Amino acid sequence: MQLEGLFTAIVTPFSHGAVDYGALSELVTKQIEGGVDGIVPVGTTGESPTLTVNEHLKVVETVVKTAKGRCLVVAGTGANSTAEAVHLTKMAKSAGADASLQVTPYYNKPTQEGLYRHFSTIADECGLPIVLYNIPGRSVVEIAVPTIKRLAENPKIVCVKEAGGSAERVSAILAECDITVLSGDDALTLPMIALGAKGVVSVASNLIPARIKEMVSSALNGDFATATRLHNELYGVFRGIFLETNPIPIKAAMAAKGLVREEYRLPMCPMSPDTRKKLLEIMDGAGI
């Protein structure tokens, strides 16, 4: 499987405390109309830690059913328990997901050998293509490049979502192994593609999929003049949606545009008035 282009890490909309599956379906439709190559449900941006197992599965099912094969669905099914990650991944496969996003186990702080065994077990037992998700800012532990090299020998481990904040990691990974790299940070998409990444798992595209798609496609096609112009136009937005912990700002931005209700599950909560004002000013300046 070749993962390339724009993948939206889609939010999970809520209404009066419950997952709003109708609103989720509408969001997926808008994303496809915006030209995305894939949808990534129940990841960090989808507030997966606060969903029940049944909700988690129904979100994946809703996205798959709405997408109808018009884009890929890469379901977030990671956990800090290998057995739980296997269970969630098997459920996502049964629901029709095309691939699985596997976050580095958080809190337990596994060794590199533990990471290797964790990801290998999921790949071997579940049969879905696996996207490794390196995000040490949330999980504490980094997937070291030598570990990625070992894992890339497994034919089911096909990609790395790189969200460690370092464009240099793209070069380090690609120098060691034959695996696809996707940026996990909107602001680093352009430099990462320049170094060999094949696209991005984007938060900002929840709000402006067509503009992000144009930036990514331009860069992948070698039109870095257009891609750089779009990056510069949107850079403030890339920063603004992380003024507070993701996905608080992106949901606030989407709510301001009438795309979702601004509703979270604790411990996520609404933005402070000062940062909300700043976010809306940034959106206005970017013509959103």
Query: What positions carry a catalytic annotation?
Result: 133, 161
8 A C-beta contact, residue 6 and residue 216: yes
How many angstroms separate the CA atoms of 261 and 276, rounded? Answer: 15
How many angstroms separate the CA atoms of 68 and 5, rounded? Answer: 19
CA distances from 87 to 47, 54, 66, 107 (A): 19, 12, 23, 19
Provide the CA 231 distance to its chain's centre, in angstroms. Answer: 19
How many angstroms separate the CA atoms of 32 and 28, rounded? Answer: 6
Helix (H, G, I), strand (E, B) or coil at 209: helix
8 A C-beta contact, residue 41 and residue 12: yes
How many angstroms separate the CA atoms of 97 and 84, rounded? Answer: 17
How many angstroms separate the CA atoms of 218 and 228, rounded? Answer: 9
Looking at residue 159, the DSSP 8-state letter turns out to be E
In the chain, count H helices and then E strands: 12, 10
Helix (H, G, I), strand (E, B) or coil at 216: helix
Taking alpha carbons only, the member of 190, 246, 236, 218 closest to residue 9 is 246
CA distances from 159 to 28, 99, 102, 180 (A): 23, 10, 10, 4
